[in-house]
Amino acid sequence: MSSRRLVPTLQVVSLASSMGYGVMFTVLDDFRGNYGIPESSLGLLVALGFFTSFAAQILIAPLADKGHARRLVMLGAWVEAIGTLGMAFGTNFTVLALSRFLMGVGAGAALPAVRRIVVQSDRENMGRNLGRILSFDVAGFATGPVLSAILADTVGFGAPFIIVAGALLVLGFMVARLEVPETSEELRTEKRLAFDLLRVKPLAGAIFIGVALFLMIGTFDATFVVMMDDLGASSWMSNVGITAFALPLVFLGPIGGRLTQHVGPFVAAATGILFGAIFMTSYGALTVPLIILTIGLFHGIVDGLTVTGSGMAVSMVAPPERLAGAQGLMGGLQTLVGGVAAALAGLNYEHLGRTVTFSVAAALMVALVVCGLLFAGGAVRSTSPRFRKEELVS
């Protein structure tokens, strides 16, 4: 396969991976109704994917820096396909949990390698290409429920999983034929894990900011629909709110990527999170659902223009030969923090109320951004790759 098709193929891999996740969310009630799986087990099923993805990004993703990037994407797609197929045919919690485990491992192994390949294949257009990956990722998650709605009642709720599994299987074979820029043998690191990269102060700064993003997402996802219901909003308004938040990410990803590369990823990412903190505070203070919905739309637009910033910052300040390890480290920590934030947000909302929940999240977001900028130091205004050994923390 021609290298010209490299990035488009990886975009579709990202779309198919997130589509399976989107399908799963829409059939949780079917798992409960058809197989008698209780709500607590369904929650564990969802959480299992997050934690296995975290582990894979930390433990497996660094192998992409050792000349195995293409192999990780290929095998990750196939492992995720097996897990997705298991979701279609599983009829008890054990089988579904094993399937969810495989989905998380496959995605966690493949996606940091995808980002590494995208960055290394065309550094001049890194922002645009990372933005497109984001757009396809969000589009896949949004398309999954549509696919499920079309097929679940007419063919069976396992049908969408079978289609996604088939797509991942085919994409794995397509990736096997790609010409992928791998790390040259003399530059391959002997490090097994990527935690030592936290000694690179600007990289640690980028991760602080990236973690703030997922703290926001975890809090928002866990409480937004419940909040709108408590405020008396109709169900369509809650659903539109989620869509209004997600759609700008689909359409503005490439534009935001180019903008981020122009102004600098640290500036863009920090600006987006600080605006996000303002929006989060407003969700806790306002009481009119329509106004909150409007703010959610602007929130989505700001995120669409800036959300690639932390990932691009990591790619810019990480050692070039360890891009996948750096991306996996940030992705793993983001996944972990997002899951913890969602759990704590639910507890805070129940016991302390809406205003405290969103205000605490906003304050933590600001604190993480400030820490990130302090660690970034001279890299804050950089717009081009720069890794300097003197910025290592001894």
Q: What's the confidence (pLDDT) of residue 391?
A: 52
Q: Does residue 240 register a pLDDT over 80?
A: no
Q: What's the confidence (pLDDT) of residue 1?
A: 44
Q: pLDDT averaged over the chain?
A: 86
Q: What's the confidence (pLDDT) of residue 201?
A: 92
Q: What's the confidence (pLDDT) of residue 332?
A: 86
Q: CATH number for 3-183: choose from 2.40.480.10, 1.20.1250.20, 3.40.50.2000, 3.40.640.10.
A: 1.20.1250.20
Residues of the chain with CATH 1.20.1250.20: 3-183, 195-387
**CA distances from residue 3 to 8, 16, 123, 170 in whole angstroms, order as listed:** 10, 20, 15, 18
The SS3 of residue 180 is coil
Q: Does residue 122 register a pLDDT over 60?
A: yes
Residue 270 to residue 166: CA distance in whole angstroms: 39
State the greatest distance between any 2 C-alpha atoms of the chain, in Å, as a whole number: 62
Is residue 260 within 8 Å of 308, Cβ to Cβ? yes
Dihedral, CA of residue 80, residue 85, residue 87 and residue 91, to nearest 10: -150
Q: What's the confidence (pLDDT) of residue 136?
A: 87
The mean pLDDT of 371-394, rounded to a whole number, is 73
Q: What's the confidence (pLDDT) of residue 166?
A: 97
Range 195-387: architecture per CATH: Up-down Bundle (1.20)
Residue 14 to residue 366: CA distance in whole angstroms: 30
Q: What's the confidence (pLDDT) of residue 387?
A: 52
Query: Which has more confidence, 379 or 43?
Result: 379
Q: Does residue 283 register a pLDDT over 70?
A: yes
Phi, psi of 200 (to 5 degrees): -80, 105
Q: What's the confidence (pLDDT) of residue 38?
A: 82
Residues of the chain above pLDDT 70, percent: 91
- Residue-wise pLDDT tens digits, 29-74: 788 788 888 867 777 787 788 788 888 988 898 888 888 889 999 9
Threshold 0.75, pTM exceeds: yes
